[in-house]
Amino acid sequence: MTLTVETLLELAMANPINAEIIARLPALGLDQCFLTAGCLFQAVWNHQSNLPADQGVKDYDVFYFDTDLSYEAEDKVIRAAEQLFQDLGVHVELKNQARVHLWYVQRFGRPYPQLHTAKQGIDRYLVAGTCIGVEIATGEVYAPYGLEDVAQGVLRINPLHAEPELFAQKARSYQARWPWLKIVAPG
């Protein structure tokens, strides 16, 4: 399968929740705001597996960037989003990428670099091909590793976030849901 940006968007928007989130997000007025992660690339894999576009989507990730690093500022955005999306019946998870380094080590036991853009958060997913986001302000797709791996079902470690054990766990969890995916061993 050849996967163009247009096809990715078409498949992702076949999940009406994605379309609704993208339509509503501008109301929050967030800088560098992206819908990202599984709700996008899983739509492609679901299409290739003849499954509904939203099959297996646990949550809908939204990354944004706010230089106010306070917990209170992020919590205010999270609360506003809960109100905005409450009728959708799904979990929309918002994360200020400027703050991740403040809590990551406590939650995951390893350091995390301070980020300077929301795109840098997308750049750090464990599986290279899953580094995909749709920028809300422009509708543009950001995919620093391209779309070929997602199209071909190839799971390879992200060299920017090379965590072999975590990569293996993530890749196996994807392969358990889409058995045809191919894991490329790191190294």
Percentage with pLDDT > 90 across the chain:
88
- The model's pLDDT over 135-156, given as tens digits with 9 standing for 90+, comes to 999 999 999 999 999 999 999 9
* pTM of the predicted structure, to 2 decimals: 0.94
Q: What is the pLDDT of residue 43?
A: 97
Q: What is the pLDDT of residue 109?
A: 86
Architecture per CATH, domain 5-152, reads as: 2-Layer Sandwich (3.30)
pLDDT tens digits along 4-44: 999 999 999 999 999 999 999 999 999 999 999 999 999 99
Which pLDDT does position 161 carry in this prediction? Answer: 85
Q: Which 8-state DSSP code applies to residue 6?
A: H
User: Which pLDDT belongs to residue 127?
Assistant: 97
1 pLDDT above the threshold of 80: no
What pLDDT, in 10s, does the model give residues 36-72?
999 999 999 999 999 999 999 999 999 999 999 999 9
Residue 34 one-letter amino acid? F
Mean pLDDT of the chain: 95
Q: Given a cut of 90, is residue 2 above it in pLDDT?
A: no
| pLDDT of 177 higher than 70 | yes
pLDDT of residue 102 exceeding 80: yes
Strands of the 34-36 sheet, one edge to the other: 92-96, 60-64, 34-36, 133-135, 141-142
Orientation of helix 38-48 relative to helix 16-24, angle to 10°: 160
Q: What is the pLDDT of residues 164-174, one digit of tens each?
A: 888 999 999 99
At 187 the pLDDT is 60
Half-sphere CA count of 80, side-chain side, radius 13 A: 15
- For the chain, helix, strand, coil in percent to 5 are 50, 15, 40
